[in-house]
């Protein structure tokens, strides 16, 4: 166990908590200053996921009781630990933004952003999912050819040559939400950019409006045009294939980013989640744990 990382993580979380996170999980009760603090709870969760590869709340709590009790002697019962964690759901997305601000910015291309999404699976598509109905429904992942019940994580990241891209935005929607609709409100704020995505982000009218108003262009692989004759398609085939290949190669690193997060945190499997707050903790807590590896 790397105790230096544990100590550094605690002091980092404490600073973030006192400046920003506290406003998103502030208590207005007589128990506004518990013996076991929110900073300690966040430290245990992030440390166990990032450094000890404990991905379930029960596993995290068991590990903390066994190996971290001397550092956190006020550790409560498992039920209280789990409930306290869910109450911090609103703080996790803010903590992710704090971490992203402190990641090394060297090498990023601020004029090129990559777009993609990935499924967060709460149960098989063959079953009727009942968990977190505000955030989940039935969807289809074309990459894995998978029908599933759950949510969808959308990401926008700055391109970095030769390494993983640097995330700029994350959002969580229902599984059935179209990728373009999920980021449509963000696009007008991305000025003078080249946005690289898959065919789901192709929209000629939107692209023209972004080019005119924001100086931003969305590049996607070429989609077939309905009603186009076979002769015209064959005439354009070589150019369209070269363009689509170039776009796909530039976009590939964001797929690698999502695969890296999955490998480090097992974020896609959310079958143990039982509430909307628990789903937010699962998704953004895992993202925070992964990004903390870049900060520390």
pLDDT number for residue 232: 78
Nearest to 121 by CA among 281, 242, 282: 282
44-54 in b/e burial notation, b at 16+ Cβ within 10 A?
bbbbbbbbbeb
pLDDT number for residue 117: 95
- Sequential DSSP letters for 119-163: EEEEEETTS---S-TTT-EEEEETTTTEEEEEEEEEEEEEEETTS
Q: What is the pTM of this model?
A: 0.93
pLDDT number for residue 96: 97
Which tokens hold the place of 293?
């590896």
pLDDT number for residue 228: 75
Q: Which parts of the chain fold into alpha helices (H)?
A: 3-19, 38-52, 57-67, 78-87, 91-102, 179-183, 204-213, 230-265, 276-295
pLDDT number for residue 1: 67
SS3 6: helix
Q: Which parts of the chain sit beneath pLDDT 50?
A: none
Per domain, the residue ranges of the chain are: 3-88, 108-272
């Amino acid at each position: 166990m790397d105790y230096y990382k544990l100590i550094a993580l605690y002091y980092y979380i404490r600073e973030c908590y006192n400046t920003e996170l506290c406003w998103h999980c502030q208590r207005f009760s007589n128990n506004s200053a518990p013996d076991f603090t929110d900073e300690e709870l966040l430290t245990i969760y992030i440390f166990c996921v990032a450094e000890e590869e404990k991905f379930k709340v029960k596993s995290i709590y068991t590990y903390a009781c066994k190996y971290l009790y001397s550092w956190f002697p006020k550790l409560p019962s498992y039920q209280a630990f789990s409930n306290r964690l869910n109450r911090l759901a609103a703080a996790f997305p803010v903590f992710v933004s704090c971490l992203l601000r402190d990641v090394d910015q060297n090498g990023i291309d601020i004029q090129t952003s990559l777009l993609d999404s990935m499924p967060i699976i709460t149960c098989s598509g063959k079953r009727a999912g009942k968990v977190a109905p505000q955030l989940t429904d039935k969807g289809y992942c074309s990459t894995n050819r998978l029908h599933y019940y759950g949510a969808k994580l959308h990401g926008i990241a700055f391109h970095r040559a030769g390494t993983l891209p640097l995330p700029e935005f994350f959002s969580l929607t229902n599984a059935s939400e179209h990728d373009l609709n999920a980021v449509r409100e963000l696009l007008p704020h991305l000025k003078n950019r080249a946005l690289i995505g898959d065919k789901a982000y192709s929209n000629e009218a939107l692209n023209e409006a972004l080019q005119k108003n924001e100086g931003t262009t969305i590049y996607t692989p070429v989609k077939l045009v309905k009603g186009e004759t076979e002769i015209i398609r064959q005439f354009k085939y070589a150019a369209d294939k070269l363009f689509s290949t170039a776009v796909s190669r530039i976009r590939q690193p964001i797929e690698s980013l999502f695969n890296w997060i999955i490998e480090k945190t097992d974020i896609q499997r959310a079958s143990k989640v039982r509430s909307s707050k628990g789903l937010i903790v699962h998704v953004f807590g895992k993202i925070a744990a992964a990004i903390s590896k870049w900060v520390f």
